[in-house]
Structure 1
Amino acid sequence: MGFRPYLLASSAMLAAFVGASAHAQSSANTNTIAELVVTAEKREQSLQDVPVAISAFTSEQRDIVGIQSIQDMTNFTPGLQYSTATDRVSLRGLGRLTNVLSADASVANYADGVYETFAVRAGSSTLFLDRVEVLRGPQGTLYGRNSIAGAINILSRRPTDTPYAEARATYGNYNRSVLEAAASGPISDQVKFRVAANWERQSKGWAKNIVPGMPSEGNVLDTFYGEVQFDVKFSERVEMWTKLGYTNWRNGAGGPGASSGGWSPNIYDLNGTILPDVSATNRNGGNGWDISQYYDAASHFNPGFGCSGLAVNVVGAGPNPCVNASHESPWLFNRPQSYTVRVPNAYTVASHWTYHADKFDIKYIVGGTRYWYHLNGSTPNGTRDPSILQYSLNSAVGGAPLIVYPQERFDYQERNGFISNELNLVSTTEGPFQWIAGAYYYHQAYKQPVSTTEDPRQVQWRSTPPAVCASGGQTSLPVAAPCAPGNGRRFDNRPDVKNTSYAFYGQASYEVSPTLTLTGGIRYSHDRKYGTESTRILCFGLPACVGFPPEVFPLLIDLTGPGAGVVANGQGGAGISRVDRGVVGRTTYDPATGFASREYDAKWSAVTGTAKAEWTPDDDTLVYASYARGYRSGGFNIGIFTVISQLPYSDKESVDSFELGMKRTWGSSLQTNLAVYNYDYQNLQIPITRIAGTAIGSTTTAFYNVPKARSRGFEAEILWQPIENLQIIGTYAYIDANIRKGAAVDGVDRTAIQPGAQPLLTFAQCVNNSACAVDDFTAGLPNNGFIREQSLKGGDLPNAPRHKFAIAANYTWDFEPGSLTANISYAWRDKSYGGLFKRWYYEAPSWDQVDARLLWKSADDKYEFIGYVKNIFDTIGYDQGATAERLHGGYSSVYGAQPVAGLTCSPVAGAAGTRNCVQGIRKTFYVTPPRTYGVELRYKFF
């Protein structure tokens, strides 16, 4: 669907707003927009008086419009993107691209003033939240931790002065039910309390698994959250508010992480042509290649094993393991092991202590979280290359064929705890001079173990000891050497890291004249991260073993021992004696456990600040201009699926932000908030493929500091009440976020031959200067398989759709028994890329969505009834850009079941004396929910 019609429509709507302002003023008594108070700058102010681009969502507005999740907020917040599958937020083109906990988030999350490492709480029920504020732009002065892209403030409902109690019940399709209740009120003249709890359960998933005996997946939930609050006024000067919360998840495939595998409907060739699934009647996919040679055949199952002409004695699963069930729909798949998401326990605390001095307030904010997050699921297993596998089956030791069980389960955990301390001094006197000063301290300690567990029937993974230990680098012949017994896991990584931050800051504003106010702020921040990482990698028919002769594949190989790839890479590369930046000492090896380990320690610091000018020519208009310097500390690429990799360190990043905005209230029924901005980034942290040397296997996934990037754009938010009981909300955002300078390897197109590629060297230069590493898989092709870095200039920043538009309209009918409010909303989002290269395989298409909602309120305000439909037309949406990976194909089926050893690579099928090095591309999307609908009943006891 093209964007132009909606851009024209929004322009026409804006013109209508301006033209209707005279009418709006004349009817001010019956359709006045209510004032919204926010705390974006540490003090209560009207939203229209804050010189910051900010979107705020009250609980009442969320109930009417149907903003039930962070994903819904992205529709009505210019520049905001959120990935539900990975709990990652981005603003104006800058966001988190990894769940490695040692990499700070670009958008900070604050729950009642306490910094959090996750954003999911912002989507909590309106029974718990009073409002959510999304601040766009660097918050490099006032906020606890530096927020280089922006901040999300989550503010809870507080204890009430009078008794209050409410219960809510929801039921929806997919057998989703929610029960929640809250009670609040005074205990005495000095003490107030609030208790609330929520239980949500969905037993049927959005997606059906066709593998017999496997449950459905997609938002399968069983969650509980409860909290208690106390508000105590010790005296006229001293008061305290404290909240304690407890969370427990016992989900199936539901919650953050459960959809992290994404939707991979097809395998493509290098030209973007879909390669059909193999079947009994079309074994070669119609194009000369056996598609089953690609591991995973696009889904997160391992089709092709047990039904391909290339692999025998391999145990598959499902009614047709050669066909990808997800080909036609993201709501159908074949996965042999289901996902589960568990939070066995999570504890949160937030506490505010305030002392009211004569001319200022002293506020101490303390809080933190301790949680255990546990994700399990199916992953494409180690036996990925049937050409190698087939050789192993026919050349086993003693000539006996092997049975291969290809299924594998991954285990990902976060054991995370952090505490945040902030001291604020805020002026409270009337007058032209206002100021804020503060200090901040934060400490975090986490463990992020990730491992895979192989099928217990595959006894090779538990060899005692493993048959051979790799020595002399990953591509050398394995030799007999002492090594620890196999532990049943091909991958086992155990990072243990601590993070300490502190800062001092101050900001002051001076009213130069009744219409002009100047503001300046400065901040010093210091960060230190330190810890250890321990890893073990075993090999049995893995792509990582592709450099070894096929004869060894029936045997288990340990890749972690002395001289092997893991330990050698830990020193900066095989044969290189240097220690990588941020690494303390050299990598060590424990022969008793088989783990390689190393230590990390690094510090970063920066001075940041802001300068603003506010002009208020009249009571209804605010024009502001601001400059802000933002900072994000560096980090380490450790955790998730790292392997004591080369180049683990990333430098700090910074941004210079310039913004011009106007907030205007036209009469009493129309508000327009506009902003234009320009960001200049230095050393933007991006995880990407990098070259660490010229030897085979020298590429690594690491954080790369992109030297220069830019984001600029325009944003508009409009609230209009043209007649009594009718409200219209509209938002629009334009983002031009791209890279100005930098170079990297495209992990999919390593030899830089895709259209649009900008290689830094020609193939001739690679040959003559030995300046390029060699891609082992394509080493025999005419380009010699040279890996070439490409210029990143002109590439879009990830997850930054060029255009985004949303509109919602609600109308209320008043009756004697109560009122009925109907709301309908439409959102459209442009295409976006999930990688730095503007290639078809990183592109998620544009999409739109329509939602509708009815809300009935009784006249005494005791009853509320809500009916809703989200995604009415059941369209497929994409909450982030696509990701992609290169797949190694095997031999063409023209060779039959038995490949020939010692052949060289050739791109020509069936060429004499060669093997066919076929490359495929798997493109993965991350989709929004299908059509959902339901009803909700609310009752207020008092």
Structure 2
Amino acid sequence: MNKLMESVSIAALTTAAVASPSIANAQDQFDNGAATASAQDDPAPSRDNVILVTAQKRSESINEVPLAIQAFGGEDLRQSGITEAQSLAVVTPALNVARSSANTPIYTLRGVGFNTPNLSSTSPVGVYYDEIAYAYPFMSSGPIFDIERVEVLKGPQGTLYGRNTTGGLVNFIVQKPDTTFGAGLNVEVGNYDTQNFEGYLNIAVSDTLAARFAGRIERSGRGWQKSISRDERLGEKDRVGLRGTLAWALSDRLTVDLVASYWKDQSDTVAGQAVLLNPDQPAFVDPRLRTAIRDDWTSTTADWDTLDGTKAPFKADSRFYGLAGRVRLDLSDDISLVSLTGYNDVSRNDQNDVDGTSVEVFAQQSVGDIQSFSQELRLEGSAGPVDYILGVYYSKDDITDNQIGNYDRSSVLQLLRFLSQNVIDPTNALYTPEQYATGFRSYRNTTEQRNRSKSVFASMDWELSDKLSVTVGARYTDDQLKFSACSGDFNGNTLPIWNTAVHFLVNVQTGNVPNFNVQPNGCMSYAANFTELASFKRPVLNEDNLAGRLSLQYQANPDLLIFGSFSRGYKSGAVPMLPTNVETQLAPATQERITAYELGTKATLVGGAVQLNGSVFYYDYKDKQLFSEVLDPVFTTLTRLVNVPKSEVYGGEVDLNVRVSDVVDFRLGASYTKTKITEFTGFDRSGQPADFVGSSFPYTPEWTLNAAVKVDQPVSQTLGLRGNVVANYQSSTAASLGDEPGFKVDAYTVVNASLDLYSSQDNWSVGLYANNLFNEYYWNSTDVLTDVVFRIPGAARTYGVRLGWSY
């Protein structure tokens, strides 16, 4: 056997644990470095095989890991219609993924999430590719393709993974090269003029060097959203993802994996749906808005602005590339040194209309970029009954995040223009009538940040006896955040209104007369005393913390594991990018902390045909980061990022997998999550004081149910038929604190299905697929920016034919 193959081990995958038993064999690339055979090329495993995962940085059966974890093979993802990270909620209980008004994904796991549209904000639910952090949720906006498996870990992950996360993490493990030539191509043709292409090419350069190239192209020429006011559509898709992977065994003890990733998205952005009129200044509300509010929206209807009677360019223009290197040196049979190096670069220039009307109440252009570098070095070893990991981690991120807002017909702006032209400057001594008539249509928000994180960590697994073992881990982290931020004029457009009406209202409300004029493209937010411009010279936010985990696991018999754990995790402090009238809005939120307690079991029953996993948990939550309202003398309320002093989360989960027969597999997952704020007072969006004690967290349905039925039936000696149906139910929740009108997110059920005819050689297939099979109308995001409460709907039904070929 050649050197490359000697440096790896192959792990069989089956749903006796948490994925389908029909998943083919796949390698565990963390055993000894480079990776091997493609999963789809191997025969189906026997039911005794179990999924091997690397949640604890070593290969082990998922049923032996004392964590709440779920794993899905790459073929499972494809059959379930999962082609982007945001779709993982379809198969994962307790995971909720919403899309913000600025096209940014919002991940919430067991009630722990961070509702923000900002490019610059990290998430308490981390996303990783081969252990390299995609620390900012927007980085995960590309397509999913050529994946070996994905692992979802629930609860604080502050010990072994580089970025502290309070909610959990999602780790994608990509397919790695092997030493046999291979190629594959999948083509999908569907409604909305859809053509998708996905393929891979595996090349053995030598007996120690192999390369793999993979990609996915998604195109749809006809949008799925139809304007209710004119003959226009939104929803065209134009997205591409590429990846190149190199596996090199330099010797029997030294292996190197290199990965280069790229994606680009130039698709249409999603339009909102107006559901409630909530004017800031009722006397000045645009009368067209009163007829734009509807309660009969469907999965395919929406509305959006026009620009001078032409189709508005509400599109994304985003791109990402990443470089990752993994080097493993076996110092001895028992000790290895592992280096992980990552560099990710993302930029976006997305234009979104969010108010759900043809009136320009609010639209925004989101522009920014992030350069993120990370380096981890760890020592892995074993000594008798003890396995251990010692490591250090460093990361640095440079961030620019800008937003250009347009709200020409908002009621506040109409009031401000009226005051400027008719009360403050009726003779036009300061600005012309044209400048007043169009003034403040645009403004900008901006932030520049530099985040630096350093940590040292250690973990130990100790077998106290044949049945009892203990895991102890700790990570000390030192974080530093430098930033500047403000709201400012945009090319002189904001000045005529800000330097007149806004100054006037500040004087009326505060008694302080501003003694300055905002300059073109200059910052315009007030200092806390409202008499001068804010300096925006803020102290650096320095924070440190000690995260840790203590777990006891008892293997009662080979088929029953019982575990209990105590863990603590942190999410670092954050600075918002938002519309700012006064500098106090830009005060950073400090780090949040979760102390988690969990009890769980993993039971293999009926000779391996049934796997039943369950757990209950309780989180003591301190200083949760949350966007809330603050009173403002001009705009009634504006947003501020705050810390909720005290809250709690508790619930339970069960995951049942049944091998009904050699042909049929069944999976059912259920999760109950209860969230509750126990200490927090603030303001609602109308500016009224509110005590939020007892309120639930946003985007946290109490119940989520996931079900899957898979059938794999031979129909002849050369042909087989494979069917797959997955369903996700989420109970109702809300997108804001308290019981504010219009912010309810109704319960919904989404069903995806596929049916494929394939050859027994598994070298070709032809089939049908449908996502959102029953065209369920649902939304998982609701917000208000001014005057109108709007929804961001989920995608309508897509269906088509697909062809697959492999060699």
TM-score (norm 2): 0.83
Contact 1:382 1:542 in 2 (8 A): no
Contact 1:561 1:567 in 2 (8 A): no
Query: 2:362 matched to 1:496?
Result: no
1:328 aligns to what? 297
Contact 2:55 2:151 in 1 (8 A): yes
Contact 2:314 2:351 in 1 (8 A): yes
Query: 2:125 matched to 1:111?
Result: no
CA RMSD in angstroms, aligned pairs only: 4.0
Residues 204 and 642 from structure 1, CA distance in 2 versus in 1: closer, same or farther, beyond 3 angstroms?
Answer: farther
1:46 aligns to what? 61
SS at match of 2:63: helix
1:510 aligns to what? 462
Tell me the amino acid that sits aligned with residue 698 of structure 2. P
Q: CA deviation at 1:540?
A: 6.6
Query: 2:347 matched to 1:364?
Result: no
Q: CA deviation at 1:861?
A: 1.2
Query: 2:59 matched to 1:59?
Result: no
2:20 aligns to what? none
Q: For the residues of structure 1 that align with 2:660 and 2:143, how far apart are their CA atoms?
A: 30
Query: 2:759 matched to 1:924?
Result: no
Q: For the residues of structure 2 that align with 1:223 and 1:621, how far apart are their CA atoms?
A: 45
Q: For the residues of structure 2 that align with 1:721 and 1:382, how far apart are their CA atoms?
A: 50
1:264 aligns to what? 274
Contact 2:89 2:728 in 1 (8 A): no
Q: CA deviation at 1:250?
A: 2.4
Can you list the C-alpha shifts for 1:308-331, whole angstroms capped at 9, x where unaligned? Answer: xxxxxxxxxxxxxx5457853352
Which of 723, 731, 745 aligns to 1:844? It is: 745
Can you list the C-alpha shifts for 1:502-540, whole angstroms capped at 9, x where unaligned? Answer: 111101121111100011111111111113224324267
Query: 2:220 matched to 1:180?
Result: no
Residues 680 and 379 from structure 1, CA distance in 2 versus in 1: closer, same or farther, beyond 3 angstroms?
Answer: closer
SS at match of 2:478: strand
1:204 aligns to what? 222
Query: 2:170 matched to 1:216?
Result: no
Q: 1:161-180, aligned counterparts within 5 Å?
A: 161-180=179-198
Can you list the C-alpha shifts for 1:34-60, whole angstroms capped at 9, x where unaligned? Answer: 410111011111111111101111112
SS at match of 2:698: coil
SS at match of 1:494: strand
Can you list the C-alpha shifts for 1:415-472, whole angstroms capped at 9, x where unaligned? Answer: 111111111211155x3111111111111111112114689xxxx99xxxx99999xx
1:388 aligns to what? none
Q: For the residues of structure 1 that align with 2:540 and 2:195, how far apart are their CA atoms?
A: 47
Residues 794 and 325 from structure 1, CA distance in 2 versus in 1: closer, same or farther, beyond 3 angstroms?
Answer: closer
Structure 2 unaligned residues grouped into runs of 5+: 1-16, 18-43, 307-311, 506-513
Residues 383 and 661 from structure 1, CA distance in 2 versus in 1: closer, same or farther, beyond 3 angstroms?
Answer: closer
Q: For the residues of structure 2 that align with 1:841 and 1:559, how far apart are their CA atoms?
A: 41
Q: For the residues of structure 2 that align with 1:543 and 1:818, how far apart are their CA atoms?
A: 75
Query: 2:476 matched to 1:524?
Result: yes
Q: 1:470-869, aligned counterparts within 5 Å?
A: 490-537=442-489, 538=494, 545=501, 561=517, 570-574=526-530, 587-588=534-535, 598-599=537-538, 601-637=540-576, 639-643=577-581, 645-647=583-585, 648-666=587-605, 667-691=607-631, 699-748=637-686, 750-751=687-688, 788=689, 790-814=690-714, 815-869=716-770
Can you list the C-alpha shifts for 1:710-743, whole angstroms capped at 9, x where unaligned? Answer: 0000101111002221100100000111101111
Tell me the amino acid that sits aligned with residue 731 of structure 1. G
Tell me the amino acid that sits aligned with residue 372 of structure 2. F
1:36 aligns to what? 51
Q: 1:313-462, aligned counterparts within 5 Å?
A: 323=292, 327-337=296-306, 338-343=312-317, 345-358=319-332, 359-378=334-353, 410-428=364-382, 431-452=384-405
Can you list the C-alpha shifts for 1:201-231, whole angstroms capped at 9, x where unaligned? Answer: 1111111125557x4112x211222221111
Can you list the C-alpha shifts for 1:121-154, whole angstroms capped at 9, x where unaligned? Answer: 7687664211111100000111101011101101
Q: For the residues of structure 1 that align with 2:570 and 2:90, how far apart are their CA atoms?
A: 27
Q: CA deviation at 1:699?
A: 4.6
Q: For the residues of structure 2 that align with 1:248 and 1:63, how far apart are their CA atoms?
A: 21
Contact 2:361 2:786 in 1 (8 A): no
Q: For the residues of structure 2 that align with 1:380 and 1:701, how far apart are their CA atoms?
A: 17
Tell me the amino acid that sits aligned with residue 217 of structure 1. L
Contact 1:568 1:574 in 2 (8 A): no
Q: 1:11-22, aligned counterparts within 5 Å?
A: none
Q: CA deviation at 1:191?
A: 0.6
Q: For the residues of structure 2 that align with 1:154 and 1:616, how far apart are their CA atoms?
A: 28
Q: For the residues of structure 1 that align with 2:744 and 2:776, how far apart are their CA atoms?
A: 18
Contact 2:732 2:745 in 1 (8 A): yes
Identity among equivalent pairs (%): 21
Q: CA deviation at 1:825?
A: 2.9
Residues 536 and 246 from structure 1, CA distance in 2 versus in 1: closer, same or farther, beyond 3 angstroms?
Answer: same
Contact 1:743 1:792 in 2 (8 A): yes
1:141 aligns to what? 159
Contact 2:299 2:795 in 1 (8 A): no
SS at match of 2:266: strand
Q: For the residues of structure 2 that align with 1:330 and 1:291, how far apart are their CA atoms?
A: 30
SS at match of 2:315: strand
Residues 926 and 323 from structure 1, CA distance in 2 versus in 1: closer, same or farther, beyond 3 angstroms?
Answer: closer
Rg larger for:
1
Contact 1:433 1:509 in 2 (8 A): yes
Q: CA deviation at 1:235?
A: 0.9
Tell me the amino acid that sits aligned with residue 528 of structure 1. Q
TM-score (norm 1): 0.71
Tell me the amino acid that sits aligned with residue 262 of structure 1. G
Q: CA deviation at 1:809?
A: 1.1
2:89 aligns to what? 74
Contact 1:469 1:478 in 2 (8 A): no
Worse overlay, 70-79 or 352-361: 70-79
Q: For the residues of structure 1 that align with 2:712 and 2:669, how far apart are their CA atoms?
A: 22
Tell me the amino acid that sits aligned with residue 223 of structure 2. G
Q: For the residues of structure 1 that align with 2:387 and 2:106, how far apart are their CA atoms?
A: 36
Q: CA deviation at 1:199?
A: 1.5
Q: For the residues of structure 2 that align with 1:380 and 1:826, how far apart are their CA atoms?
A: 30
Contact 2:279 2:285 in 1 (8 A): no
Q: For the residues of structure 2 that align with 1:124 and 1:446, how far apart are their CA atoms?
A: 19
Q: 1:239-254, aligned counterparts within 5 Å?
A: 239-251=255-267, 253=268
Can you list the C-alpha shifts for 1:634-679, whole angstroms capped at 9, x where unaligned? Answer: 1212x24445642422121111100001011112111011010000
Q: 1:226-245, aligned counterparts within 5 Å?
A: 226-245=242-261
Can you list the C-alpha shifts for 1:251-295, whole angstroms capped at 9, x where unaligned? Answer: 2x1xxxx23x5322343799xxxxxxxxxxxxxxxxxxx999644
Residues 685 and 353 from structure 1, CA distance in 2 versus in 1: closer, same or farther, beyond 3 angstroms?
Answer: same
Contact 1:496 1:531 in 2 (8 A): yes
Contact 1:569 1:646 in 2 (8 A): no
Q: CA deviation at 1:61?
A: 1.9
Whose strand fraction is larger, Structure 1's or Structure 2's? 2
Tell me the amino acid that sits aligned with residue 527 of structure 1. D
Residues 377 and 698 from structure 1, CA distance in 2 versus in 1: closer, same or farther, beyond 3 angstroms?
Answer: closer
Contact 1:136 1:149 in 2 (8 A): yes
SS at match of 1:62: helix
Query: 2:170 matched to 1:152?
Result: yes
Q: CA deviation at 1:824?
A: 2.4
Q: For the residues of structure 2 that align with 1:704 and 1:454, how far apart are their CA atoms?
A: 26
